[in-house]
Chain A
Amino acid sequence: MLARIGVKDIDALFADIPADKLLKAPVDLPRRKGELEVERQLGRLAAKNVPASSVPFFVGAGAYKHHVPATVDHLIQRSEFLTSYTPYQPEIAQGTLQYLFEFQTQVALLTGMEVANASMYDGSTGTGEAVLMAHRITKRRKAVLSGGLHPHYADVVRTLSHMASDSVVSAPASPLADEDLIALIDGETSCVVVQNPDVFGNIRDLRPIAAAAQAKGALLIAVFTEAVSLGLIESPGAMGADIVVGEGQSIGNALNFGGPYVGLFAAKQKYVRQMPGRLCGETVDAEGQRGFVLTLSTREQHIRRDKATSNICTNSGLCCLAFTIHMTLLGEAGLKRLARINHANAVKLADALAGVKGVSILNKAFFNEFTLRVPGKAADVVEKLAGKGVLGGVPYSRLAPEAGLDDLILVASTEVNSDDDRAAFVAALKEVL
């Protein structure tokens, strides 16, 4: 091959690298290993972790342990899905494009919105993008964040806004959902960002906030971190949201220690040209047959460069495929039933924990997650519970140490929890308090 190229050795092809920068010896890292040895080495690391399915597990706060049907993981590993690229050559990517079109339809229906895109990286980055989108639409640059917004999400928005010299007003953390967000909206406000159910698990009525925001020319951005909740509670679209953004991990995707996940992003039709991310649309081919293509790409960075609506170049392809397949298996009936099971399990758990002396449940209304107030430091309680083999939730102080809410544990319960799990949690909590 070198002869055909016309060079004498491989380094002749690297001649543009300054000679003193070309490495003379291999870098200081181990040499190649066989498959067996790599499995052993990574297996040892994996064995040091405690998987959710191995213990009574009640951790949520933005990522949820659900049962994913075996069909989902089989299908997403088909070579033609797994090893394909962004569908820029639509004639040989109709598989990807059709499921994206189905995904967009499912997300639009679920959120009660008119249009949805082909996904963002995750719910948090989607929220940052939604705020920028609201700024473009309203030509204002101030976002108001609810104190019930997941602190990581709020931090992503604040980071982006700080860097872009936009302003952010954050309401204080509100475990009782009793904040007065409407008072924070003024004529400079571009958007109000409200999570529902909020990070403390409270179900919020978005309608008064939507009305108040829209009366002042601002948009309501509704956020959710638990997509299954939308099987049971009113959709953000029906409550007046202008943009809806959420985390889709709950449907079809494993916990994966925080990623990869899939950001869901939906909006009113009139804002579609200000949306970030990829959009898949219907068209016809040269013979008049229906087909699908990526469309409205004049919004995107590869065409518009510094004038694009976002710098995003990827979506979360395989994770939205997992979402689409799981949602197809669930269907309307299955999703609603899954949501009822989640709520029923959380109600049972809340009642069981409420019987433990010294603790209280803060929420009046919740879906599959609620806030438990414990005597003493929540972080210590959670650590002691782990010592008893129960992963009993997230201390709110881990997410937002500056809030001074050191006695709150966010507790989630899904369809994976059994009566035995609940009993183990109650018994362990009694022991550690």
Chain B
Amino acid sequence: MLNNQGRPTAAGEATGSAHPTFTGNQALQIEEALLFEIGRADCTGVDLDEPASFTPRLGGLERRGDIGLVGLSEPETMRHFVRLSQKNYGIDTGLFPLGSCTMKHNPRLNEKMARLPGFADIHPLQPQSTVQGALELIDQLAHWLMVLTGTSAVAMSPKAGAHGELAGMMAIKAAIDAKGEGAIRNVVLVPESAHGTNPATAALIGFVVKPVPARADGTVHVEDVQALLGPDVAAIMLTNPNTCGIFEPQIVEIARAMHDAGAYFYCDGANFNAIVGKARPGDLGIDAMHINLHKTFSTPHGGGGPGAGPVVLSDRLARFAPLPFIRRDGSHYALVETADQAGDVQAFGRVTAFHGQMGMYVRALAYMLSHGSDGMKQASEDAVLNANYIRAGLEDLMSLPFPDHPSMHEALFDDSWLKDTGVTTLDFAKAMIDEGYHPMTMYFPLVVHGAMLIEPTESESRASLDLFIMTLRDLALRAKRGETERFSAAPYHAPRRRLDETRAARNPILRWTPPQPIQQAAE
């Protein structure tokens, strides 16, 4: 290979150690200042013409003074955000084994479909005659969700998983109120292993949360639930497969116990991706379950949203759906937007403006059509296969808290294997960053010490899993050999070294402010 002077290069010429650079940049890793440090108040990258002179009608409430915003030109904007993007790890970068979060491949066909003007460029309040295709799409997606879950109704509008939980628990509350039991049934049972959103959701609408203890095998036992049941219990919120990655073996008995006691079964569907096409939650006895379209059905996580959280409802709850919903009459689709249009449905009101996350519906349906009934079953099986393959590759070195059950789509380890090494779960996770991996979910679920929850998803090839296993084995052996420095100060090679979160919380700086002039600062 020749360089641009025509001189051959050889590896031997490049053996010096790294030295600090003038810019602070490191080749492709470029430091990028804050927008407010590089932008200008008078700069705009948008070519809009000033309107012709006219008399404003603002009622004397014109803004006075500057806003304080800054702008960049188009090429500067492009460079600013491209450089920022290069400081991020995504699924497209590498294996992203974040347990419970399901970081699977995001097909770009979905993005393309969501951007069709017939979906992206329609307004939620256009006449319904001009959006029949959009309503038909929502109805189709609803059909797929009901068939896959074995339920008879679905509320589509919730904006994310936790919002779906809220809508589902509201439906439960509305059903209890309709029976005249609102004053009595105010307790919701939540296992200690649950996602934090479950108790937060229940508390948000006035339920009292009672924990259900976890058994030594990582599952919830029906006797423990029965011991807590009484006339005051409204519902249980149970994740299945649970947050330890185990399918709850007694789920049918738990559902029956709830129903016998006049209470409801809310299922957290965050882990539905393990059983799509294998089993239907409706057959297991659930009354409500939200579905994270951004987990199970591959819509992008986008750095923390937007999500989408439709919630399926059993026959017992179908009459208590939120507004709006779609009613089909032959080939015509109508949106039911207000209580007086709802008929038999005792709609409890809206949980959001408009009709939900259309952009996410298109992506999810594109995924479903692409995979079909056969492909989605296979995706579940492959996800479970991959998780168990990782478990088998690591269980002799790392400790499995619940070895008696097969893992579903994620494998849970605890930190007992790190005892006396001086390395913590956090250190181990940060060392994974140096190896080019996103860490697994750590310290969740709370029922095991120093949890490491690994979810590879079906997107990974066997070769990718083998390399991941070898990497973690290498790190594990180094931890046990006492190479603590590799861990305690990791990451070494990321755009930033370990960040001081305590300092951020103690003295919160939540926005940019202009630097103070020196005299003023000295006062």
Query: Do B82 and A283 have beta carbons less than 8 Å apart?
Result: no
Could you tell me the distance in whole angstroms from the C-beta of B282 to the nearest C-beta in chain A? 10
Range class of the A interface residue count: 35 or more
Nearest B-chain residue to A320, judged by Cβ: B305
Interface presence of A174 (CB below 8 A): no
Which residues of B sit under 8 angstroms from A305, Cβ to Cβ?
Answer: 196, 199-200, 209
Query: Do B373 and A85 have beta carbons less than 8 Å apart?
Result: no
Q: Which of B68-107 contact A (CB under 8 A)?
A: 68-72, 74, 77-78, 80-82, 84-93, 96, 98, 101, 103, 106
Complexed CA–CA distance, A289 and B353 (Å) = 42
Query: Do A26 and B89 have beta carbons less than 8 Å apart?
Result: no
Could you tell me the distance in whole angstroms from the C-beta of B194 to the nearest C-beta in chain A? 8
Neighbour of A51 across the interface among B69, B121, B202, B503, CB < 8 A: B121
Interface presence of B486 (CB below 8 A): no
Query: Do A232 and B86 have beta carbons less than 8 Å apart?
Result: no
Could you tell me the distance in whole angstroms from the C-beta of B432 to the nearest C-beta in chain A? 9
| CB 8 Å contact bits of B211-238 with A (1 = contact, 0 = none) | 0000000000000000000000000000
Which residues of A sit under 8 angstroms from B159, Cβ to Cβ?
Answer: 121-122, 125, 259-260, 314
Complexed CA–CA distance, A341 and B41 (Å) = 19
Q: What are 5 A-B residue pairs whose CB atoms fall within 8 Å in the complex?
A: A29-B147, A102-B512, A160-B205, A317-B302, A317-B305
When A35-B109, A71-B77 are in contact, do A89 and B89 touch as well, CB less than 8 Å? Answer: yes
Additional pairs, 4, CB under 8 Å, beyond known A165-B206, A367-B58: A52-B121, A80-B86, A96-B303, A329-B45
Interface presence of A278 (CB below 8 A): yes
Which residues of B sit under 8 angstroms from A332, Cβ to Cβ?
Answer: 41-42, 66-71
Query: Do B61 and A205 have beta carbons less than 8 Å apart?
Result: yes
Interface presence of A184 (CB below 8 A): no
Q: Which of B334-388 contact A (CB under 8 A)?
A: 337-338, 340, 348-360, 362, 365-366, 368-375, 377, 381, 384-385, 388
Interface presence of A429 (CB below 8 A): no
Which of A42, A205, A257, A259 has most B Cβ within 10 Å? Answer: A257
Neighbour of B500 across the interface among A262, A284, A348, CB < 8 A: A284
Interface presence of A287 (CB below 8 A): yes
Neighbour of A311 across the interface among B70, B123, B204, B301, CB < 8 A: B204
| CB 8 Å contact bits of A157-190 with B (1 = contact, 0 = none) | 0111011110000000000000000000000000
Query: Do B87 and A98 have beta carbons less than 8 Å apart?
Result: yes
Segment of B8-16, B258-266, B271-279, B413-421 engaged in the interface with chain A: B271-279
Neighbour of A89 across the interface among B35, B46, B433, CB < 8 A: B433
When A13-B384, A331-B39 are in contact, do A109 and B377 touch as well, CB less than 8 Å? Answer: no
Complexed CA–CA distance, A365 and B59 (Å) = 5
Could you tell me the distance in whole angstroms from the C-beta of A73 to the nearest C-beta in chain B? 8
When A42-B362, A53-B117, A306-B200 are in contact, do A90 and B499 touch as well, CB less than 8 Å? Answer: yes
Interface presence of B55 (CB below 8 A): yes
Interface presence of B51 (CB below 8 A): yes
Which residues of A sit under 8 angstroms from B173, Cβ to Cβ?
Answer: 163
Complexed CA–CA distance, A335 and B366 (Å) = 36
Segment of B130-138, B311-319, B474-482, B515-523 engaged in the interface with chain A: B130-138
Which residues of A sit under 8 angstroms from B121, Cβ to Cβ?
Answer: 51-53, 65, 254-255
Query: Do A162 and B349 have beta carbons less than 8 Å apart?
Result: yes
Query: Do B51 and A164 have beta carbons less than 8 Å apart?
Result: no
Query: Do B496 and A94 have beta carbons less than 8 Å apart?
Result: yes
Complexed CA–CA distance, A257 and B307 (Å) = 15
Which residues of B sit under 8 angstroms from A291, Cβ to Cβ?
Answer: 496, 499
Segment of A16-24, A209-217, A420-428 engaged in the interface with chain B: A16-24
Q: Which of B127-153 contact A (CB under 8 A)?
A: 127, 129-134, 136-137, 140, 144, 147-148
When A33-B370, A42-B113, A328-B77 are in contact, do A105 and B497 touch as well, CB less than 8 Å? Answer: no
Neighbour of A316 across the interface among B101, B144, B161, B306, CB < 8 A: B306
Interface presence of B322 (CB below 8 A): yes
Complexed CA–CA distance, A98 and B84 (Å) = 7
Neighbour of A13 across the interface among B85, B354, B406, B505, CB < 8 A: B406
Query: Do B302 and A81 have beta carbons less than 8 Å apart?
Result: yes
Nearest B-chain residue to A76, judged by Cβ: B302
Which of A29, A261, A285, A401 has most B Cβ within 10 Å? Answer: A29
Range class of the B interface residue count: 35 or more
Neighbour of B113 across the interface among A38, A311, A343, CB < 8 A: A38
Which residues of B sit under 8 angstroms from A345, Cβ to Cβ?
Answer: 51
Could you tell me the distance in whole angstroms from the C-beta of B1 to the nearest C-beta in chain A? 29
Which residues of B sit under 8 angstroms from A325, Cβ to Cβ?
Answer: 77, 81
Which residues of B sit under 8 angstroms from A318, Cβ to Cβ?
Answer: 300, 302-303, 305-306
Complexed CA–CA distance, A37 and B118 (Å) = 17
Complexed CA–CA distance, A124 and B163 (Å) = 13
Which residues of B sit under 8 angstroms from A26, Cβ to Cβ?
Answer: 277, 373-374, 377
Interface presence of B120 (CB below 8 A): yes
Could you tell me the distance in whole angstroms from the C-beta of A340 to the nearest C-beta in chain B? 6
Complexed CA–CA distance, A289 and B463 (Å) = 37
Complexed CA–CA distance, A263 and B494 (Å) = 31
Query: Do A102 and B35 have beta carbons less than 8 Å apart?
Result: yes
When A21-B284, A62-B353, A85-B96 are in contact, do A69 and B389 touch as well, CB less than 8 Å? Answer: no
Which of B63, B109, B494, B510 has most A Cβ within 10 Å? Answer: B510
Query: Do B306 and A314 have beta carbons less than 8 Å apart?
Result: yes
Which residues of B sit under 8 angstroms from A303, Cβ to Cβ?
Answer: 196
| CB 8 Å contact bits of A247-271 with B (1 = contact, 0 = none) | 1000000111111111000000000
Complexed CA–CA distance, A225 and B199 (Å) = 31
Interface presence of A376 (CB below 8 A): no
When A5-B392, A156-B351, A317-B303 are in contact, do A231 and B504 touch as well, CB less than 8 Å? Answer: no
Could you tell me the distance in whole angstroms from the C-beta of A324 to the nearest C-beta in chain B? 8
Which of A37, A38, A343 has most B Cβ within 10 Å? Answer: A38
Query: Do A17 and B358 have beta carbons less than 8 Å apart?
Result: no
Could you tell me the distance in whole angstroms from the C-beta of A251 to the nearest C-beta in chain B? 11
Interface presence of B252 (CB below 8 A): yes
Interface presence of B44 (CB below 8 A): yes
| CB 8 Å contact bits of A297-339 with B (1 = contact, 0 = none) | 1101111111110111111111101001101111111111110
Interface presence of A371 (CB below 8 A): no
| CB 8 Å contact bits of A126-164 with B (1 = contact, 0 = none) | 000000100000000000000000101101101110111
Complexed CA–CA distance, A62 and B125 (Å) = 9
Interface presence of B181 (CB below 8 A): no
Interface presence of B56 (CB below 8 A): yes
Interface presence of B7 (CB below 8 A): no
Which residues of B sit under 8 angstroms from A16, Cβ to Cβ?
Answer: 246-249, 405-406
Q: Which of B21-50 contact A (CB under 8 A)?
A: 32, 34-36, 39-46, 48-50
Neighbour of B92 across the interface among A1, A46, A79, A285, CB < 8 A: A79
Which residues of B sit under 8 angstroms from A156, Cβ to Cβ?
Answer: 349-353
Interface presence of B429 (CB below 8 A): yes
Could you tell me the distance in whole angstroms from the C-beta of A374 to the nearest C-beta in chain B? 15
